[in-house]
Amino acid sequence: MLFNSFIFLFAFLPAALLIHWLVERFKPEWRLPVLLGLSLFFYGYWDWRFAPLLVASVVVNWLVAESFTRTGRDILIPLAIVANLLVLALFKYNNFFADVAGFVPGLTIPRYDFALPLGISFFTFHHIMYLTDLKAGKAPRYDLVRYGLYIAFFPQVLAGPLVRWSEIMHQLDERPYQRPDAEERFARGLMLLVAGLAKKVFLGDQLADYTNPIYAAAEAGQALDMGQALQGALGFTFQVYFDFSGYTDMALGLGLMFGIVLPQNFDVPYRATSLQDFWRRWHMTLSRFLRDYLYIALGGSRKGLALQLAALTATMALGGLWHGAGWTFLVWGALHGIGLSVAVLWRKAGYTMPSIVGWFLTFTFFVLTLTIFRSGSFEVAGNFYAALFGFGAEGFTMKWRALAIGAAISMIGPTAWTFIHKLPPRPWIAALFAILFVVVLFKIGDDANYEFIYFQF
């Protein structure tokens, strides 16, 4: 049930909103259990076989938290975190580890072709955040329904944003439709949903048509010319932004419609003037998770420069591997760790750089490394790099219109969240968004409806 599908927009969402409003109006004590039930139904609609895994994950982790709260046994939390990571590894990384084991003489790991449960990376990290903070004395105890809703809330369960318990739990006990700004919040949430749909359908999917044939040709061994390679590399750079930020806009909008403010995930990242600045703007909730729960745990900047650089590289490499079970993801992450390490050395040496140069180098670095991320193999990436640096086929064949539009919108900004929250409440603005929604629906009906890229992560 994609957010950009008719069954979601005309069946599940209206029914869920009506049920939620009725319960909030007449039986507010039922609101959270009903919202949890709707979220589990939404998740199970994809494949009912995955729903028991999500339910079991919630119940087991909650029981561990309950036991820790009662007994204070510190060992329970590390064991639970390891168990969560083992489940994630079994479903997502088993075959990757089996391939790695093949390089060691005499060591074999059996291969299993498990279907990857949607959202498992995201809800696993949610468990880790809560359990870590519970052990540190930062997080309180929650009942099963509230904890389950924190993990499974349907706007964010499949592809984020990664939400800390402290960002959402205090909102669950509010009466969202009793707030003085309830109508405005709902309206702005609906506008965010429409804006995210438009970004996905008109920009992300259009750029997919620019990008996918180029990568398919490269995978087939066809030599690319420089224009084709630029089209593919830049096309995916803008496609993944509009696809994922569009999903995030929809998630944030849906959250507002159900009375929950979710954290923003993008802040015009293609305007970043350094790699550090970029990762403060791109997939912001993942960046904060990696910083607070991995980089700092590995020592951060507290134990000397050498350990700091090692922690940066390891953190980003693991962040790359989080995106997928493959060497290309690992190398992509490691390259960003190395890039961040070089930036640390640059700053410590006291060097500076003009903003425009920093922007150019940061954007170029991201485009070039993202080619590895998208390629799926080093052979395909090598095909792209050969063409990009003038060693491919002769000629220069390139479609550029969608790239120019994508570049302008992604770099000039502002974010959809900022733009929509600055709009005054005017009837003509509502009418324009209604027209945009209708146009989006016609586009969804006419064209291929691409799945969101980050659903595979």
Amino acid 318: pLDDT: 95
Q: What pLDDT does residue 301 have? A: 83
- Measured between alpha carbons, how far is 291 from 436 in angstroms, rounded to an integer? 38
CA distances to 202, 209, 273, 377 from 224, rounded to whole Å, are 26, 17, 30, 16
- Give 75: exposed, middle or buried? Use CB within 10 Å, 0-12, 13-18, 19+: exposed
> Given this model, what pLDDT does residue 118 score?
84
pLDDT digits (tens, 9 = 90+) for 405-436: 999 999 997 899 999 999 998 999 999 999 99
* Predicted confidence band of residue 364 (pLDDT cuts 50, 70, 90): very high
pLDDT computed for residue 116 by the predictor:
80
Q: 168 and 189, same structural domain? A: no
Copy the structure tokens of residue 450: 């691409």
Q: What is the mean pLDDT of residues 307-335?
A: 94
Co-location of 98 and 189 in the same domain? no
pLDDT at 423: 93
> Which positions ≥6 away from 244 have C-beta within 8 Å?
159, 265, 266, 283, 452, 453, 454
Whether 313 contacts 299, CB under 8 Å: no
Domain total in the chain: 2
In the prediction, which pLDDT does 44 show? Answer: 92
- Residue 113 inside a domain? The answer is yes
pLDDT band at 325 (very low <50, low <70, confident <90, very high): confident
Asked if residue 1 is part of any domain, the answer here is no
Domain shared by 137 and 188, yes or no = no
pLDDT, mean over the chain: 92
Spell out a b/e string for 208-227, using b for 16 or more CB atoms within 10 Å of the CB, else e. Answer: bebbbebbebbeeeeebbbb
Based on the fold, state whether residues 214 and 171 are members of the same structural domain.
no
Residues 112 and 197 in one domain: no
Contact 213, 426 (CB under 8 A): no
Higher-scoring residue by pLDDT: 243, 454: 243
Please write down the HEC assignment for all residues of 58-72.
Answer: HHHHHHHHHHHHHHC
Q: What is the pTM of this model?
A: 0.93
Task: Identify the pLDDT of residue 299.
Answer: 87
Assess whether the previous peptide bond of 414 is cis (omega < 30° from 0): yes
How many CA atoms within 13 Å lie on the side-chain side of 325? 18
Same domain, yes or no: 291 and 376: yes
Does 457 fall in a domain? no
Specify the amino acid at residue 23.
V
Domain presence at residue 326: yes
Flag whether pLDDT at 404 surpasses 70: yes
Q: Are 382 and 314 in contact (CB under 8 A)?
A: no
Select from 181, 234, 264, 221 the least CA-distant residue to 368. 234
1: which DSSP letter?
-
Sequence-distant (6+) residues with CB within 8 A of 191 are 253, 420, 423, 433
In a domain, 366, yes or no: yes
The confidence score (pLDDT) of residue 392 equals: 84
Pair (298, 341) in one structural domain: yes
Would you call 323 a catalytic residue per the annotation?
Answer: yes
How far is residue 64's CA from residue 79's CA, in Å, rounded to a whole number?
A: 9
pLDDT category at 50 given cuts 50, 70, 90 is confident
Amino acid identity, position 3: F
| Local confidence band at 146 (pLDDT 50, 70, 90 cut-offs) | very high
Nearest to 342 by CA among 362, 322, 323, 327: 362
Which carries the bigger pLDDT value, residue 448 or residue 199?
Answer: 199
pLDDT at position 449: 65
- Both 356 and 209 in a single domain? yes
Same domain, 388 and 272: yes
Each residue's pLDDT tens digit, 155-212? 999 888 999 999 999 999 999 999 999 999 999 999 999 999 999 999 999 999 999 9
Q: What is the DSSP string of 206-248?
A: HHHHHHHHHHHHHHTTPPPPHHHHHHHHHHHHHHHHHHHHHHH
Q: Among residues 145, 178, 211, which one ends one of the domains?
A: 178
> Are 336 and 285 in a shared domain?
yes
Residues 252, 137 share a domain: no
Q: Residue 326: is its pLDDT beyond 80?
A: yes
Domain annotation covers residue 36:
yes
- Report the SS3 class of residue 140: coil
Which of 178, 193, 217 finishes a domain?
Answer: 178
One-character DSSP codes across 259-319: T--PPP--S-GGG-SSHHHHHHHSSHHHHHHHIIIIITTTTTTSS-HHHHHHHHHHHHHHH
pLDDT digits (tens, 9 = 90+) for 9-42: 999 999 999 999 999 999 999 999 999 999 999 9
Per-residue pLDDT, 168: 94
Give yes or no for residue 447 having a pLDDT over 70: no
Contacts of 64 (CB under 8 A, 6+ apart): 76, 77, 79, 80, 131
64-115 pLDDT per residue, tens: 999 999 998 989 999 999 999 999 998 888 888 887 777 777 777 777 777 7
Domain range for 227 is 183-452
Name residue 20's amino acid: H
Are 187 and 38 in the same domain?
A: no
Of 20, 126, 127, 323, the catalytic one is 323
Given 123, 146, 178, the domain boundary residue is 178
